[in-house]
Amino acid sequence: MTLSQTTRVKNSTPSSIRVMFDLAEQADHDLVRLEVGQPDFQTPAHIIDAATAAAKNGHTGYTANAGIPELRAAVAEMLQSSYGVPATPDGVTITVGGMEALHLAMLATVEPGQEVLLPSPVWPNYPMQATLAGGTPVEIPLSAETGYALDADAVIERMGPETAAVVLCTPSNPTGRVFDEKPVRAVVEAAAAHDVAVIADEVYLGLTYDRAPRGIAGYVDEHEHVLTIGSVSKTHAMTGWRLGWIAGDPAFIDGVNTIHESTTSCAPSIVQHAALAALTGPQEPVVEMYETFKGRRELVVDRIAEIDGLSAPDPQAAFYAFIEPELSGSSLSIAKRLLSEFGVVLAPGDGFGTAGKGRLRLSFANSTAQIEEGFDRIETALRSW
């Protein structure tokens, strides 16, 4: 007899990004990979050196659950000075990536049976994490016509006694949208009135191109209802190091530290020292990567504008364009055909909820030459389909 699994496991499905990734790994022909959501750069050398030194200097044991004090302080200082977030060291928990921070945020705010409001297109891990916490994900579709602007009225209308949390992913994966401050303020105000948590996923905040990046907790009055999620993954090319944080009201974060003890104990000690170097050391490599992404963003906007049958709201941040090709079929079937017949790999939009139907996420975390080649292949596909 096989070992039975919980409904929690049975209800979980791998994201369609993963499906495309696996198909691409198995393919035997030359592919342009534009489905991957991670920087194509090496981690800056001084960060790697700091990790090596930490290992050699005996920083190889458990740390305090919340993280080493120097790193909590560095994260608080960076959140204050770069994004205006009123964070204090005792209001920061260091986690295993932004991913663990999000998981802890859900566990700390969602009672079983409560709802988690998710403006959609939605990053697939939120509904999964809400479900793992015993909650019910509720999508609030945003419209492509507005460039996926936050529809505060639609979110507030759905908010009630059954609501536990709202997740605001800004800058957004997959749309590259930065939500405007006015609707965000309205949502946070309503959330505070209902004692609902606002989980602000700001892992892409450092890759904001057209305006100064501002953290939500930095400009709303009700910042004690906001949990700020961040990580070094995207800004410092450190996805594999797995280091992030959750920041909020110290009294709330204290409880987060308690449940964090039973999930991972603490983030890896060597990596915490590397992250300290990332935040407090030379920032030139980070600025260089940022400028490179910004240049690629221009290229992507230009190519989308010049190809017939292709459209997308201009990405304002991160490294994604959420494109709509004039092709019939589900986005998964379109993505599979683009891979097998034209050799270009994109993430299917319906993996990002109901608002993602018919769309594809194109990641420009790849070289200019590969991005150009990818668009050439998409153009050929649109002409010959």
Contact footprint for ligand PMP (CB under 6 A): 37, 97-99, 123, 169, 173, 201, 203, 231, 233, 239, 244
**Least distance from ligand PMP to the Cβ atom of residue 44, Å:** 17
**Least distance from ligand PMP to the Cβ atom of residue 109, Å:** 16
Coil, strand, or helix at residue 32? strand
**Least distance from ligand PMP to the Cβ atom of residue 10, Å:** 24
Closer to ligand PMP by CB, 272 or 377: give it: 272
**Least distance from ligand PMP to the Cβ atom of residue 75, Å:** 13
Closer to ligand PMP by CB, 65 or 175: give it: 175
What angle (nearest 5°) sits at the alpha carbon of residue 15, between those of residues 12 and 20? 145
d(CA 260, CA 333): 40
Nearest Cα neighbor of 203 from 107, 97, 124 is 97
Provide the edge-to-edge strand list for the sheet that holds 244-247: 92-95, 244-247, 226-231, 197-201, 163-169, 115-120, 136-141
The DSSP element (H or E) to which 258 belongs, if any, is helix 250-263
Closer to ligand PMP by CB, 321 or 381: give it: 321
- Assign residue 150 a region: left if phi > 0, alpha if psi is -120 to 50, beta otherwise? beta
Closer to ligand PMP by CB, 119 or 343: give it: 119
CA dihedral for 335, 201, 96, 212, sign (positive or negative): positive
Tell me how crowded residue 296 is: count the other CB atoms within 10 A of its CB.
Answer: 18
Closer to ligand PMP by CB, 231 or 316: give it: 231
Closer to ligand PMP by CB, 192 or 246: give it: 246
Please give the sequence-ordered ranges of beta strands (E in DSSP) within 74-177, or none if there are none. 92-95, 115-120, 136-141, 163-169
**Least distance from ligand PMP to the Cβ atom of residue 167, Å:** 9
Residue nearest to ligand PMP (CB): 97
Per-residue DSSP letter, 90:
G
**Least distance from ligand PMP to the Cβ atom of residue 18, Å:** 12
The DSSP element (H or E) to which 347 belongs, if any, is strand 347-348
